[in-house]
Structure 1
Amino acid sequence: MSEPPYQHPLLFNLPGTFGTNFDQAPPALYSGSLSDDIFPLDMDMSTIDWTTLINDVSAAGDTLPPIGDDLHLDAPISLSNAPSISPNVGQPLLGDVAQCNASPHSSKPLDTTDSQHIASEGANGSSSGGYPSLPTSDASTPSHIPENGGNSLSGGNYTIGREPDVEGPENDVPVGTVRQRARVGKEEAARKKVTTLVNRQRKQIADEAAADIKARWDQERVEFNEKHGFSPDYAHPIFGLGGTIKGTRTASASNALNSRASIYFNQGRAPGERLGMPAVMAMMKMDPTWSTKAKDLDEEEQEELRAELAHKREESATALRPTRLSGSKTADILVKRIDGDLHRLEAQTDSMFFMMSTKRSHDSAVKTAITGSEDVYDFFLSMYKLDPYTILKDFQLYALKRKLDQVSGDSIDKLRALIVNLVRSSMAIVLKPGQQIPMSYTNFQVNILEKYYIKIIGWPAGVPFIKPADIGSVDDLRKIVAAFKTGAAYWRPLTAHEKRVVMDDVKKRKEMGVSAIKPRAKRSDCGITRGPQENPKRKKSTPSGKENAPARKRVRVEDKGEGTASNGIFKSRSTIDTDEDEDEEQVGDSGDGDGEADDDE
């Protein structure tokens, strides 16, 4: 195994205030003498004048300058005066060089910083013969690595550590000690590479096995639910799956009281100086006015607090954003959240979804968004021959052309007809294909609920449940239209429990002999024998007036090349004998018409 390429081990950059910023790093093993690592066997040492180098370092007697907050080291250390060094440092180095059978000369001079670190270790003490002490623990920190990445310790043989417990002269400042860094050889790197590949293959095999187990488990769960009469997506509590969807927490009286106190204590405070909820709760305990707990209040007061907080949350959730950027940010966050919920819905319930969103004004910064299941794209192409992205563009143009808060031109008759279509089309979702049910409002309980076991959910509050033709308020009609258009009102089949309740009610009603069908109103002449009645809507035919005369008949004539009524071609005569109308004479001469019509005119 060949030796790694040479890299200078003592070239350090120490920007910033070092010394106290070095933390302990994982220990590294030390093997061999320091000179063996500093001067490898393949290093050319024929050009180094060791005697001159060591004498120059020993001649400088100044110590290291004190390092404080006023010294900013943004560049590699370069001291004008070398620190003091023990005179016996050079002999061990020369001895190690002699053991390598190399000449004490090299073309690569030592860096000034390198010699300073060696001198500093020699001045602080050595374990034997002036060598720097080599503790068993390594220390390094990113604080001594420059931001530009140059001359860093990454991949080096050594790092620098701090020894706060080393004792020395009073004017001597311990900077650090040289530690050996562990280096991964080729064999170790190859072994790690093989281990990584093996672990990757094991993970792939485990994932495939887990997928098979998951498929079998899903199939067994479906069979279990079918056997015991549960819904397909039901998960028995013993399975330990837990809940998948977490609902929104309802407003409590305690939270409402804290919210009201937060508004009170933050009055007049700047946005950056407002108190947080912990500080508000601490002030509530010290203030007798707010020290009362929510549970000690009356039920009416607690209900008022809950309603107030619920209204505040609703306003905060539906309030228009004050700026374009805040509106765009809100839309981006909500769309991503909804998209994640829809994909989770698809994964957990095996369903499909599709959603589009766009802005309504040209000044808005909200981005147009589209999301859906993978098969939705094929659905639009196969069913409507349209690309979903083309529909999205048309949807955006339609939204920009609409004007909000404008007077609607829909008449009351048009709204009534629209409600009929909405109720009928929404009912088709819960029915079989091609099946239609006549809607009944008066006898809805019997003709719809008890007969077909379906009902309407979300009918607008305050609007009577009657025929649209009997609703005279335009506002009520618009509420019904908006409810069915947005999906707030919809049809839903009855659950098993609701079916049992309906069947029990029908059984009790039959036992009591009560009819659920509302009887029709009796006529005013009920019980009176009536003879033939004339229809007042039918008008009597009178001989007078052209409007009551029978239709005239045209006489079929032979075709003389000028066109007849049979072929639909009529040609005018070349000359006109008179300009008077002869229709009246024809009517009078013909026996089909009424002769008195001419006399009336």
Structure 2
Amino acid sequence: LTEAQKASRKIVSEQRKEKQAALAESIMQLTQEHSQKIAGVTSKHDVTVEKVKNLVMGVTAYKKSHGPTLTNVLIFAKVQEVNSELPAGSKHSVSELRRLVAEDPKYQNLTENEKEKLKDVLKEHRESKSISVRATNTAAARDVQSGLDLIFRLLDGLAVRTGIYVTLFVTRGHAFDTHTATWYSTDNAMDFFEDILELELDAITKQFEMWACNENRNLAQRDSLENMQRDSKRMINASFCLFVPMGARLNYANFDTAIKLKYGVDKRGWLQGVPFKSPTNLGNVEQVRALRDALKAQKCYFFKMTASDQRSFIEELEERRDAGEAVSTTRKKRSDAGVKRKRSRRESGLLQSKYPRAGRPWKATKRRTQMPKMVARTRTRRTSHGAIWRPTNILQHTLYIRLTVVY
């Protein structure tokens, strides 16, 4: 570097240091003023400093939903025991249920397995309650409205915090439902549909509602065997395609050798009692429904094996082969194997295949179709007005000749 370049860089460095020192001093003053104001707010409203800081700074705490506690589990078990057969108005209160639980000796010394079983019962009850069908259309409409209000508030806050764009369409699933179709969009996300797709959100919502009502399927029809099989197969393929190359297919019969050994992909959470095969080959409605629910809840999925898991699996597979176990299913042998059969026209070469043979270009055969007797060849003629007229049959040719003679 020259002396001039060194001097200019030194000047720029000094200016940068001065700016950083001025910024640090301003931040210190702002922090002091901020602390003084927070102290004033805490003394005025009698709250803690941490609460005011969380409210001012806008800190968002993401927490998972709490699982059932042992107290909730025991109270629920007692409710099922004493309140299930009592009419409305005469059921035991929560305080009475707590007292009954404390006095019941069978709930005092529970083992860990018994506690887990009671927790599973409460979890299943909560899940069934969250997805249960409402008794009337009015109750369903209120449920939709309250749920959408919560979703809209969450999306509004998420858009402010992270700057995302969201567009949401909601419509009824049957013509007899009472809740109306609506749409939601953050900021100017609707401009994408109007400027790029040249569609208005109201028109899209109307078309969406018409499509949903024309499906004319109730909840029982949606849970038919065919629909559940299709949904299960779609979710299985979506999970499987994340870890395999494009074009790879799931081989259920030879999963250990064709998938697990070749691609290093294994399954997890496949339900016991459900055969491992394509959902379209399962004829039991309860098995397909349980598999669909497990796939939807992401309890059943595919995952990529680690290198150590693959090595241990290969060793296990070799041990099984050495023991004489068939690790893969072989293709069933034809019943007429070894018997000379009559060759088809395609095999004998009389019928040309639509795929070319290796090393020879395939050429399509030209076929000449015989024209009808009353149809002549198409000729292009130019009229006196400059327009092009193409007669296609004998009558039009005759008419053209007569018009030419007249004119």
- Normalising by structure 2, report the TM-score: 0.52
Is the partner of 2:143 in helix, strand or coil? helix
Say whether the 8 Å CA contact 1:359–1:399 is kept in structure 2: yes
After superposition, the Cα gap between the structure-2 partners of 1:258 and 1:502, relative to the gap in structure 1 and judged at 3 Å, is same
Deviations 1:406-450 (A, max 9, x none): 768x997x9989977775566556678xx4323322333444345
Say whether the 8 Å CA contact 2:101–2:107 is kept in structure 1: no
Q: Displacement of 1:499 after TM fit? A: 1.9
The separation in 2 between residues aligned to 1:445 and 1:431, in whole angstroms, is 15
After superposition, the Cα gap between the structure-2 partners of 1:397 and 1:421, relative to the gap in structure 1 and judged at 3 Å, is same
Partner residue of 1:278? 95
Partner residue of 1:534? 341
Q: What residue identity is the alignment partner of 2:217?
A: K
Say whether the 8 Å CA contact 2:374–2:394 is kept in structure 1: no
Which fold has the larger relative contact order, with Cα–Cα distance below 8 Å and residues 6 or more apart in sequence?
A: 1
| Of 134, 144, 147, the match for 1:321 | 134
Q: What residue identity is the alignment partner of 2:252?
A: Y
Q: In the TM superposition, what are the counterparts of 1:129-528 in structure 2 within 5 Å?
A: 244-262=61-79, 264=82, 268=86, 270-271=88-89, 275-282=92-99, 284-285=101-102, 290-292=103-105, 294-298=107-111, 301-341=114-154, 355-362=168-175, 364-371=177-184, 377=190, 386-401=199-214, 402-404=216-218, 435-454=246-265, 462-467=273-278, 471=281, 473=283, 475=285, 479=289, 494=304, 498-509=305-316, 512=319, 514=321, 518=328, 520-521=330-331, 523=333
The separation in 2 between residues aligned to 1:396 and 1:560, in whole angstroms, is 55
Say whether the 8 Å CA contact 2:173–2:213 is kept in structure 1: yes
The separation in 2 between residues aligned to 1:430 and 1:250, in whole angstroms, is 32
Say whether the 8 Å CA contact 1:446–1:517 is kept in structure 2: yes
After superposition, the Cα gap between the structure-2 partners of 1:427 and 1:570, relative to the gap in structure 1 and judged at 3 Å, is farther
Is the partner of 1:296 in helix, strand or coil? coil
Q: What residue identity is the alignment partner of 2:250?
A: M
Is the partner of 2:121 in helix, strand or coil? helix
The count of aligned residue pairs is 309
The separation in 1 between residues aligned to 2:244 and 2:196, in whole angstroms, is 21
Say whether the 8 Å CA contact 1:253–1:303 is kept in structure 2: no
Structure 2 unaligned regions, length at least 5: 1-25, 35-58, 349-366, 380-389, 396-407
Is the partner of 2:213 in helix, strand or coil? helix
Is the partner of 2:341 in helix, strand or coil? coil
The separation in 2 between residues aligned to 1:356 and 1:442, in whole angstroms, is 41
The separation in 1 between residues aligned to 2:212 and 2:255, in whole angstroms, is 38
Partner residue of 1:36? none
The separation in 2 between residues aligned to 1:336 and 1:514, in whole angstroms, is 59
What root-mean-square deviation, in Å, do the aligned CA atoms of Structure 1 and Structure 2 show?
Answer: 5.7
Deviations 1:13-34 (A, max 9, x none): xxxxxxxxxxxxxxxxxxxxxx
The separation in 2 between residues aligned to 1:358 and 1:489, in whole angstroms, is 29
Q: What residue identity is the alignment partner of 2:68?
A: A
Q: Displacement of 1:281 after TM fit? A: 1.7
Q: What residue identity is the alignment partner of 2:328?
A: K
After superposition, the Cα gap between the structure-2 partners of 1:250 and 1:387, relative to the gap in structure 1 and judged at 3 Å, is same
Q: Displacement of 1:243 after TM fit? A: 9.9
The separation in 2 between residues aligned to 1:441 and 1:246, in whole angstroms, is 39
Q: What residue identity is the alignment partner of 1:294?
A: Y
Q: What residue identity is the alignment partner of 1:396?
A: E
Q: Displacement of 1:296 after TM fit? A: 0.9
Q: What residue identity is the alignment partner of 1:520?
A: T
Deviations 1:277-323 (A, max 9, x none): 234323554xxxx4326341355654553343233323432333344
The separation in 2 between residues aligned to 1:269 and 1:419, in whole angstroms, is 41
Say whether the 8 Å CA contact 2:172–2:181 is kept in structure 1: yes
Is the partner of 1:332 in helix, strand or coil? helix
The separation in 2 between residues aligned to 1:452 and 1:556, in whole angstroms, is 57
Deviations 1:94-120 (A, max 9, x none): xxxxxxxxxxxxxxxxxxxxxxxxxxx
Say whether the 8 Å CA contact 1:357–1:369 is kept in structure 2: yes
The separation in 2 between residues aligned to 1:405 and 1:266, in whole angstroms, is 28
Is the partner of 1:251 in helix, strand or coil? coil
Q: Displacement of 1:569 after TM fit? A: 6.1
Say whether the 8 Å CA contact 1:253–1:294 is kept in structure 2: no
Q: What residue identity is the alignment partner of 2:210?
A: L
- Normalising by structure 1, report the TM-score: 0.38
Q: Displacement of 1:390 after TM fit? A: 3.1
Deviations 1:500-539 (A, max 9, x none): 343332453477584996152474899x9x69x4346669
After superposition, the Cα gap between the structure-2 partners of 1:294 and 1:562, relative to the gap in structure 1 and judged at 3 Å, is closer
Say whether the 8 Å CA contact 1:416–1:477 is kept in structure 2: no
Is the partner of 2:251 in helix, strand or coil? coil
Partner residue of 1:27? none
Percent identity reads 16
Say whether the 8 Å CA contact 1:563–1:570 is kept in structure 2: yes
